[in-house]
C-alpha cells in the first residue's frame, strides 16, 4: 500500500489496520486486493484508477479477480476497480454496496474504517466466487 505523507487526511489512515484487513480478506480467496492512496492530481479519478489497476499487480491476477481501492484524499474521491472475472460474477449491486458503505465512512472522515469495510466486503465476495482451495 502506498500513501503520501503530505496530505492531512492520508495521515489518518492506519496502515497496519488496512494491511491486516487485506491479509484477512485474502485468506479465503485466490483474489488479490490492493489499496493505493495517491496525492492530489488533476484529471479523472476513475481513469487514473483504471490506469493504476493495469500497472499494478492487482491488474495481473491470474484469474482476473483482483480489486483495487484507489483513494484520492485531497479530493475526497475514490474508485473501486475490479478485474473482468470478479466484475462479471459479483454483479453491479456488489459494487454499488461497496461504494455506498465507503462513501458514508469517508464523509465522516474515517478513511481507515471505510477502507476496512470495503476490503472486508471485497474479500467475502472474492471468497464466494474464487475460493482458495488446498491446491492454492
Q: What is the pLDDT along the chain (136 residues), one digit of tens a residue?
A: 443 334 455 556 888 999 999 999 999 999 999 999 998 778 899 999 999 999 988 877 788 999 999 998 888 889 999 999 998 999 999 999 999 989 988 888 888 999 999 999 999 999 999 999 865 5
Residue 25 is predicted with a pLDDT of: 96
Domain 8-129 - what CATH class?
A: alpha beta
8 A C-beta contact, residue 25 and residue 119: yes
Q: Quote helix, strand, coil % in the chain, to nearest 5.
A: 55, 15, 25
Residue 10 is predicted with a pLDDT of: 52
Q: Give the predicted TM-score (pTM) of the model.
A: 0.87
8 A C-beta contact, residue 73 and residue 9: yes
Q: How far apart are CA 33 and CA 77, in angstroms?
A: 19
Length of the chain: 136
Amino acid at each position: 500500500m502506498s500513501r503520501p505523507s503530505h496530505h492531512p487526511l492520508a495521515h489518518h489512515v492506519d496502515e497496519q489496520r488496512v494491511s491486516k484487513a487485506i491479509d484477512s480478506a485474502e485468506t479465503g480467496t485466490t483474489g488479490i486486493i490492493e489499496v493505493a492512496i495517491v496525492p492530489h492530481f488533476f484529471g479523472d479519478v476513475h481513469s487514473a484508477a483504471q490506469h493504476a489497476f493495469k500497472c499494478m499487480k492487482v491488474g495481473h491476477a491470474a484469474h482476473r479477480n483482483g480489486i483495487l481501492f484507489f483513494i484520492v484524499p485531497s479530493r475526497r474521491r475514490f474508485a473501486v476497480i475490479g478485474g473482468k472475472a470478479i466484475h462479471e460474477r459479483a454483479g453491479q449491486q456488489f459494487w454499488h454496496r461497496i461504494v455506498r458503505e465507503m462513501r458514508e465512512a469517508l464523509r465522516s472522515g474515517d478513511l481507515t474504517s471505510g477502507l476496512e469495510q470495503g476490503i472486508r466486503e471485497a474479500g467475502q465476495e472474492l471468497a464466494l466466487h474464487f475460493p482458495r482451495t488446498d491446491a492454492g
